[in-house]
Amino acid sequence: MTETETPYGTASILLASNRGPVSYTVEDDGTLSAKRGGGGLVSGLSAIGDEIDHVWVCAALSEGDRAAVRQGSVTDPALRMLDIDAGTFARAYNGIANSTLWFVNHLLYHTPVAPVFGTAFRREWASYESYNSAFAEELARQAGEGAAVLVQDYHLTLTPRLLRSLRPDLRIGHFSHTPWAPPDYFRLLPDDVAEEVLTGILGADHAGFLTLRWAQAFADCCVAVLGAEVSDDLVVRYGGRSTQLAVHPLGADAEFLRERAHRPDVDARLAALEAAVGDRKTIVRVDRTELSKNIVRGLQAYQHLLRSRPEWLDRVVHIAFAYPSRHDLPEYREYTAAVLRTAQEINDEFGTSEWQPVLLHVQDDFPRSLAAYRMADVALVNPIRDGMNLVAKEVPVVSDSGVALVLSREAGAFAELGDDSFPVNPYDVIQTADALHAALSLPDGERAERTKRLAAASTALPPTAWFLEQLHALQG
């Protein structure tokens, strides 16, 4: 090494997230096929792809990904896929990220029986620490001097602090795509774990959230658990360092969505859905089959609507796309079964030879989702709790003739879209049924006006601007 060389890498902007922009599958003939990674985080970050020169560090999530790394098939120099030991990855991802931290921040525990933090949990936690260290080490290797590193989400809460200890020269940001729990609930976590999660994120210079509500909850946890100081402008001071908290409400990508929603594959699916629905109104929902999305109560609300207001019999179809997710976890498998069961019950109770009240599809199909967005009279978005919920923002953007939005007040999107929606308490199925009735009954003119305002609010901060806002805040 000469005097001017440093042991550092060369990247000046780095991203880190569990799921990367591409995933690989081993086909039956042994070859590898690649497809775009799924989910809100990946869609948001992928939009910056060509415009901003960056290196993206992600994990190998499957045997296909691991095979791709080992065979040297991941050739994009801007992508570093970490081949973390499969057992360590599973314990970190399923055990800690998707069970413990997801459950805490979405308030999903049924507390008389769960959580139980025993020896199995401790093994998972140790794996989560190793997994976060693997990210910190790779980022430290790839980053040029003074580079900006943007670490994403609840999978990587420890990485900012670990990275700072390896590379104090870096500017480090963290962004939470989920809600944040209030202190009383967050303190379900073992004390040392609660402290590690908070101090992990406080290793960042800048910590972003989707709404003020989640940022404030994080600040409250820092005060309650760590005894940190928080100023009115949301600077958290702890352990001789300060971290600026900020709100960056990720919006929908109008340009991409409108172009994609008018391609022939979407038109074909739209024609098929229209043929199935006939001359009836539509209530549309599109979700991963995720406990927090509250799909079962949404179906129960629709069932209550049909029972309590028979004028809607044979005049409405509920199109529900519920794409399987996290089926390694038994709670998710059971939830998918409950969704299927409830939809079947409604069809058995009300269906006729002419009319199927619920059209439920579980096979993931993005063009079909866009077709449903275009034709929805009503969109139902009723999560128990959600960081943002991009479906609520996407539907008004691509709607063909206006949509009425029934929206949970517990979704992050409610902060921006609440005024033009039909708000619901997600646990109250009678109120949700009433909101569905009001939304179905909305006069066309007012629906069109509301849709215009919803679309404008939904696209206020498109993904590239959302990312640049954080980058600029970080670079000062």
Binding residues vs ligand F6P (CB under 6 A): 19, 39-41, 98, 153, 177-178, 325-326, 387
Provide the pairing of β-strand 206-209 with 378-381. unpaired
Return the number of the residue (226 or 247) whose C-beta is nearest ligand F6P: 247
Return the number of the residue (64 or 357) whose C-beta is nearest ligand F6P: 64
CB 358 → ligand F6P: shortest distance, Å?
24
Return the number of the residue (176 or 300) whose C-beta is nearest ligand F6P: 176
CB 229 → ligand F6P: shortest distance, Å?
29
CB 175 → ligand F6P: shortest distance, Å?
10
Return the number of the residue (305 or 390) whose C-beta is nearest ligand F6P: 390
Return the number of the residue (102 or 302) whose C-beta is nearest ligand F6P: 102
Query: Which residue is it, tokens 């990674």?
Result: 37
Return the number of the residue (153 or 394) whose C-beta is nearest ligand F6P: 153
CB 212 → ligand F6P: shortest distance, Å?
18
CB 267 → ligand F6P: shortest distance, Å?
27
CB 227 → ligand F6P: shortest distance, Å?
29
CB 40 → ligand F6P: shortest distance, Å?
3
Return the number of the residue (125 or 209) whose C-beta is nearest ligand F6P: 209
The CB-nearest residue to ligand F6P is 39
Q: Give the separation between CA 302 and CA 109, rounded to whole angstroms.
A: 26
